Amino acid sequence: MSNVSIFQSSEERLFLPIMSTLYNQFAQPYGWLIFRIIFGGMLVIEGWPKILDPFAQVGFVEHLGFYPGWLWSPLLAVMQFFGGMFIVAGFLTRPVAIANAVMLAITLWFHFSHPYGHAFLTPAGIEALQAGSDFFTPEGISRLSDGGVKFLHLVQLKAYLASLFWTVGTLLIAAFGGGYFSIDRLMKKQF
């Protein structure tokens, strides 16, 4: 490995040396802060319903093989909600991000191992839809005319991509830590 920092934009390495100050003193520290705030904030938002009902995920986590569910479900809630707050503040950023990355990698695995299925409707359901009904909006009819195959595949793709995005994002935060604007930076030692 090289001892040259890939994030240090020295004037000698830039085609436009005048940009060095902008990159080093503004774009990189503030860009990383915004990235960390968005990721941590979204973990807080996703964790809030779990904090309100910390045992709601007991069956789900046990279905994934994490026993006892009464322990893992509240732990998941705390990790997302308070972990998100820690990431926003840049406090214990790396260990909290690693814990969330593991949880999000399990989510990614879950979406691959438990796909939504092929369609929403059975052939009889498609027939009932095509017969006309006041139960469906025109948009619903257009999305479900093939039984929901195209729509469900789109939802599945979004689940894969979102889980991949969240997993990689938290791994990046774990790799690079809190950054310039963080409590971690103020501490004498970091993880």
Q: Are 145 and 126 in contact (CB under 8 A)?
A: yes
**Whole-Å CA distances, 137 to 52, 121, 123, 140, 146:** 34, 16, 19, 5, 15
- pLDDT, tens only, 139-152: 878 888 888 888 89
pTM attached to this predicted model? 0.86
- pLDDT, tens only, 65-111: 999 999 999 999 999 999 999 999 999 999 999 999 999 999 999 99
Alpha-carbon span 95 to 87, nearest angstrom: 10
User: What are the tokens at 72?
Assistant: 């893992």
In the chain, the amino acid numbered 88 is V
